Amino acid sequence: MEANAIQDSGLFRPVTPGGEVIKMSEKRAHALAVEPKFKCRDVRVFYGATEALHGIDMDIENTGVTALIGPSGCGKSTFLRVFNRMNDTIPNARVTGDILMDGENIYDKKIDPVLLRARVGMVFQKPNPFPKSIYDNVAYGPRIHGLATKKNDLNEIVETSLQKAGLWNEVKDRLKDPGTSLSGGQQQRLVIARAIAVSPEVILMDEPASALDPIATAKLEELIDELKEKFCIVIVTHSMAQAARVSQKTAFFHLGDLVEYDDTEVIFKNPKDQRTQDYITGRTG
Amino acid sequence: MSSSPTGISIHQSDRALKRLKVRKAKEARFRMCGIGAVVAAVTMLGWLLVSIVGTGYTAFYQHYLTIDVELTESVIDPTGARDPDELRKANFRKIIQEAIYDRFPTVTERREKSELFKIVSASGATNQARQMVYNDPTLVGKTLTITVPTSDDVDQLLKGYIDRDAPENRRKISNKQIVWVDALTETGEIKSKFNTTFFTATDSRDPELAGIAGAVVGSLMALFVAFAVSVPVGVGAAVYLEEFAPQNRFTDFVEININNLAAVPSIVFGLLGLAVFLNFFGMPRSAPLVGGLVLALMTLPTIIIATRSALRAVSPSIVDGALSLGASHTQAVFHHKVPLAAPGILTGSIIGIAQALGETAPLLMIGMVAFVTEIPSGLTEPASALPVQIFLWSDSAERAWAERTSAAIIVLLSVLICMNALAIFLRSRLERRW
């Protein structure tokens, strides 16, 4: 309740999955709310000798949904994977430049990518639930991070996470069933619940609806709309309609460059760059 | 090349139909080749099975003579002391001889008597009588009815492997012996029974007393050692190489060598075992421990290769999912990748071990080819192995060995089939979880 009140007042505050407000000074909370979540300066990503991103400068807002759009191979997914250092897992991939999260360089040597990924969750293009039960899927993250010491705490995290992902009512009677037995849309929401369960600050989504039918997509977009109240969301999408529907900020990428970045309304109604104009009207890409 | 204005497309012309016909004929030919290959393979396999089972199944029964034996005190215990150790050394051969001569009182001539005695398994019968008296010295002086194996020649005659119409000097059994055997068969004194000896006895010089128990126990012990060594080492090495090892010249070199090792002739592993385990470490010769270690070395590359390919087959999206939740690389590997690869790892391991079960060559090098007449009681006792036993028997001259060789092959094949069935069962069981 209190959390909602603060959000209504326009001030963002990090909240645990249980709805508990994380305690911090008003000043810091305010700073976090108005400061960008990520500040990127001259970010370049190399795969071997190939440069996939040519120096991106971009700030990601602390609240709301930021959409990354662009034709295939433009580097938007590569850029998304910069934020949780998933590019580290690709052999030969190299990232240069500064990426500051809450003012801290996440590529600094003293930053452990394992902890970073607990703060920055990710949802992939293809739903990838673990071949375990629905319960174990959601409980996996809290277990490895030791977030719940008692069985009841864990049950609660699982329940609230599934509720937030809008899946609880559909699966509450079959938590022991394998996660892979769900439909595509349910699996994707299960994966979101799994990400929420570790209380991240940011959720990255890499074309989360591209494998879903229109109804499941609509549900997912509704969910994103709810989640943006509590999480900073960055979404890569192929569908411009989706970007227009769910995001507040949109960035257009082309051939490894950030061409245009503005409020979603501006991008879609009044783009400044010809390439953006061509792409959103369907002339390229 | 668009269709003509008359409406006939290029896919409807006569030439197009002809092309289609050629294409279909090609496909039909290919299918025929495939069916032919399958038929050829099945025929050869069937032939193998029929010939082995055909020669081998007769070894599973054997002919026994039931005879009354008088345990004359003056022969086996002239002192009357009933000392078991003395009784053991007594002349039981004479006792058996007397019993058989009594059965055919008309036979008096020395040479004929010798032929008559050859109907029974001499050592089989004497050992049996000796054992009974040793266990129970009060039997001395009594008359005992015992059932003893006939000699292998008689057994082969009754199984129809010796041609009765062949000239007497061309067969291993004389006319008179045939008459005696027929008489005993008619009265039911010679009967065929299930050959338990084959499964309970160890190797012997006499085919009718030989069995595979020693070899089977030796094989099982060696397999146990091989499994216990090669699976943990192989899976561990594979997981490390696949997931944690840095990619550099050294690991490339290791990988190439592992792949090459899989193709190294098994006798080379035997030589390695001889040089390392026997000569350097001074382990006992002919021991299942050493045999198992050698087989483990031989199986390692198979297990490593199978494990790595099973790990590689796990969908990277699962690993990505774990990493994105903040699992460390090690956690992602051991929580998700290895369990998902387990069916493949298990199948590879069992197939590797099954292959090891059939290996003879490396065991020859470390002395498991010895003539062992006791069931090994420990990993360092001398032992033989089933394939080695087959190899030894196949080398022997008597007709009776041929059927025993085939019978041992049947046992070996059955064990292999059981192991492969277990592999398939475990794989489907583990995969069915989801």
Cα(B263)–Cα(B130) distance, integer angstroms: 52
Would you say residue A199 lies in a domain? yes
What confidence category does residue A11 fall into, taking pLDDT thresholds of 50, 70 and 90?
A: very low
- For A182, which residue in chain B has the nearest alpha carbon? B434
For B247, the closest of A91, A116, A128 (CB atoms) is A91
Q: Enter the tokens of residue A144.
A: 């490895």
Q: Enter the tokens of residue B95.
A: 């006792």
Whether B305 contacts B232, CB under 8 Å = no
What confidence category does residue A25 fall into, taking pLDDT thresholds of 50, 70 and 90?
A: low
Q: Enter the tokens of residue A192.
A: 């979101």
Show the beta-strand stretches assigned E in chain A. 38-47, 50-60, 65-69, 93-101, 104-105, 120-123, 202-206, 232-236, 249-254, 257-263
The answer to whether the CB atoms of A144 and B247 lie below 8 A apart is no
The answer to whether the CB atoms of A121 and B320 lie below 8 A apart is no
Whether A14 contacts A201, CB under 8 Å = yes
CATH label of the domain that carries residue A125: 3.40.50.300
Residue B164, amino acid:
R
Among candidates B116, B119, B135, which has minimal Cα distance to B127? B135
pTM of the entire predicted model: 0.82
Chain A residues whose CB is inside 8 A of the B318 CB are 128, 130-131
What's the pLDDT score for residue B135? 87
What's the pLDDT score for residue A73? 85
Chain B residues whose CB is inside 8 A of the A116 CB are 326
What confidence category does residue A6 fall into, taking pLDDT thresholds of 50, 70 and 90?
A: very low
Cα(B320)–Cα(B312) distance, integer angstroms: 14
Cα(B133)–Cα(A123) distance, integer angstroms: 82
Chain B residues whose CB is inside 8 A of the A205 CB are none
For B326, the closest of A89, A141, A178 (CB atoms) is A141
The answer to whether the CB atoms of B325 and A91 lie below 8 A apart is no
Q: What is the mean pLDDT of residues A147-165?
A: 91
The answer to whether the CB atoms of A130 and B320 lie below 8 A apart is no
Would you say residue A18 lies in a domain? no
Cα(B199)–Cα(A73) distance, integer angstroms: 69
**Chain A interface mutation, best of B248, B251, B324, highest count of A Cβ atoms under 10 Å:** B324
The CA distance from B339 to the nearest CA of chain A, in Å, is 10
- Beta strands A50-60 and A104-105 are unpaired
The answer to whether the CB atoms of B322 and A194 lie below 8 A apart is no
Cα(B296)–Cα(A186) distance, integer angstroms: 47
Torsion-angle region of B379 (φ positive above 0: left; ψ -120 to 50: alpha; else: beta) = alpha
Would you say residue A10 lies in a domain? no
Chain B residues whose CB is inside 8 A of the A91 CB are 247
Cα(A86)–Cα(A130) distance, integer angstroms: 18
Whether A260 contacts A252, CB under 8 Å = yes
pLDDT of A3 higher than 70: no
Whether B173 contacts B162, CB under 8 Å = yes
Chain A residues whose CB is inside 8 A of the B320 CB are 86, 89, 122, 124, 128
pLDDT of A9 higher than 50: no
Q: Enter the tokens of residue A23.
A: 């305690």
What's the pLDDT score for residue B432? 58
The CA distance from B334 to the nearest CA of chain A, in Å, is 12
Q: Could you tell me the end-to-end alpha-carbon distance of chain A, in angstroms, rounded to an integer? A: 45
Counting as low any pLDDT under 70, the low residues of chain B are 1-7, 432-434
Cα(B314)–Cα(B329) distance, integer angstroms: 15
Domain with CATH 1.10.3720.10 in chain B: 213-431
Whether B94 contacts B101, CB under 8 Å = no
The answer to whether the CB atoms of B318 and A131 lie below 8 A apart is yes
The answer to whether the CB atoms of B321 and A124 lie below 8 A apart is yes
What's the pLDDT score for residue A36? 86
pLDDT in tens, A216-274: 899 899 999 999 988 999 999 988 889 999 999 999 999 999 999 999 999 999 999 99
The answer to whether the CB atoms of A114 and B434 lie below 8 A apart is no
Q: What is the mean pLDDT of residues A26-39?
A: 72
Show the beta-strand stretches assigned E in A136-231. 202-206
Find all residues with CB under 8 Å of A92, minimum gap 6, and list them: A46, A47, A48
What's the pLDDT score for residue B89? 84
The CA distance from A93 to the nearest CA of chain B, in Å, is 14
Cα(A194)–Cα(A171) distance, integer angstroms: 14
Q: Is A268 helix (H, G, I), strand (E, B) or coil?
A: helix
Whether B298 contacts B234, CB under 8 Å = no
**How big is the A-B interface in CB pairs under 8 Å?**
64
What's the pLDDT score for residue A10? 41
Q: What angle (nearest 5°) sits at the alpha carbon of residue B334, between those of residues B331 and B336? A: 90
pLDDT in tens, B312-368: 999 899 999 999 999 999 999 999 999 999 999 998 999 899 989 988 889 988 888
What's the pLDDT score for residue A53? 92
pLDDT in tens, A60-119: 988 889 999 999 888 899 999 999 999 888 888 999 999 999 888 999 888 888 889 999
What's the pLDDT score for residue B430? 79
**A65-102 as b/e: b if 16+ CB within 10 A:** bbbbbbeeebbbbbbbbbbbbbbbbeeebebebebbbb
The answer to whether the CB atoms of A130 and B323 lie below 8 A apart is no
Chain B residues whose CB is inside 8 A of the A84 CB are 324
Helices (H) and strands (E) in chain B, counts: 19, 3
The CA distance from B326 to the nearest CA of chain A, in Å, is 5
Whether A249 contacts A61, CB under 8 Å = yes
Chain B residues whose CB is inside 8 A of the A122 CB are 320, 324
**Chain B interface mutation, best of A80, A86, A89, A116, highest count of B Cβ atoms under 10 Å:** A89
Residue B70, amino acid:
E
pLDDT of A175 higher than 60: yes
Torsion-angle region of B151 (φ positive above 0: left; ψ -120 to 50: alpha; else: beta) = beta
For B317, the closest of A91, A128, A194 (CB atoms) is A128
The answer to whether the CB atoms of B326 and A117 lie below 8 A apart is yes
Chain B residues whose CB is inside 8 A of the A194 CB are 321, 325
- For A180, which residue in chain B has the nearest alpha carbon? B434
When divided into structural domains, chain A yields a total of 1
What's the pLDDT score for residue A28? 62
Name the residue range of residue A127's domain.
35-280
> What sign does the dihedral A216-A218-A222-A227 (CA atoms) show?
positive
Chain A residues whose CB is inside 8 A of the B328 CB are 114
What's the pLDDT score for residue B13? 85
Would you say residue A11 lies in a domain? no
Q: Enter the tokens of residue B4.
A: 């003509």
Q: What are the residues of chain B with a beta carbon less than 8 Å away from any beta carbon of chain A? A: 247, 315, 317-318, 320-329, 331, 335-336, 340, 433-434
What's the pLDDT score for residue A27? 64
Q: Enter the tokens of residue B344.
A: 């493949």
Q: What are the residues of chain A with a beta carbon less than 8 Å away from any beta carbon of chain B? A: 84, 86, 89, 91, 114-118, 121-122, 124, 126, 128-131, 140-141, 144-145, 178, 180, 191, 194-195, 198
Q: What percent of chain A has pLDDT over 70?
A: 87
Range picked from A17-21, A146-150, B225-229 for highest mean pLDDT: B225-229
Q: Enter the tokens of residue B89.
A: 């050394």
- For B430, which residue in chain A has the nearest alpha carbon? A131
What confidence category does residue A33 fall into, taking pLDDT thresholds of 50, 70 and 90?
A: low
Out of 1.10.260.40, 1.10.3720.10, 1.10.1740.10, 3.40.50.970, select the CATH number for domain B213-431: 1.10.3720.10
What confidence category does residue A35 fall into, taking pLDDT thresholds of 50, 70 and 90?
A: confident
Chain B residues whose CB is inside 8 A of the A128 CB are 315, 317-318, 320-321
